[in-house]
Amino acid sequence: MNTNHRRKHMKKLIVVAAALVALLGTSAGACDDDADVASENISKAADNFEVMRRIVFYNTINGSYILVIEGRCNIADDGNQLEVTCKLAANDLRKHFLGLTNVTYFVEQIEPTAASVDRYRVSFKPEAIIPDIQKQ
């Protein structure tokens, strides 16, 4: 597939995806409160490493602080462990895994984030559709 054909194909995919997102966003957002929409948009910003956070881990047995992580971080909690992925620079990402046995944590947003209360935010990344195949 040549480059021009690939570009045309990607443009079509983007248009179709944008139309689907607009349709779903309109129907899904019709009954949400402003706070729900803002919360979803802030979460989406955090997923894209746009939110400065402070994550503090606390030992519930002995009452001591274990660790603090600050930065543009995303978190994923599966109940047994917390995955913290932080972006330090354009291509400098770090991922940390923390067990949650006898440990609790809290996350603080340390800088304000602009978030719409009227419209959902959608992040579309075409590079996520086309795999990055590396030769070895």
Question: Which pLDDT belongs to residue 19?
Answer: 60
Do 8 and 62 lie in one domain? The reply is no
pLDDT greater at residue 77 or residue 9: 77
Do 16 and 42 lie in one domain? The reply is no
CA angle 13, 129, 114 (to 5 degrees): 85
Residue 122 falls within a domain, yes or no?
Answer: no
Residue 129 falls within a domain, yes or no?
Answer: no
Q: pLDDT tens for residues 54-83?
A: 999 999 999 999 999 999 999 999 888 999
Do 44 and 27 lie in one domain? The reply is no
Question: Which pLDDT belongs to residue 39?
Answer: 87
Do 21 and 83 lie in one domain? The reply is no
Determine the average pLDDT of the residues in 41-66: 92
Do 16 and 37 lie in one domain? The reply is no
Question: Which pLDDT belongs to residue 76?
Answer: 92
| 135: exposed, middle or buried (Cβ count in 10 Å: 0-12, 13-18, 19+) | exposed
Question: Which pLDDT belongs to residue 27?
Answer: 47
Residue 41 falls within a domain, yes or no?
Answer: yes
Q: Which residue segment(s) compose the domain that 19 sits in? A: 1-31
Do 24 and 37 lie in one domain? The reply is no
Residue 90 falls within a domain, yes or no?
Answer: yes
Q: How many domains is the chain built from? A: 2
Do 40 and 107 lie in one domain? The reply is yes
Q: pLDDT tens for residues 104-136?
A: 999 999 988 887 777 767 766 776 677 767 776
Do 67 and 15 lie in one domain? The reply is no
Statement: the pTM of the whole predicted model exceeds 0.85: no
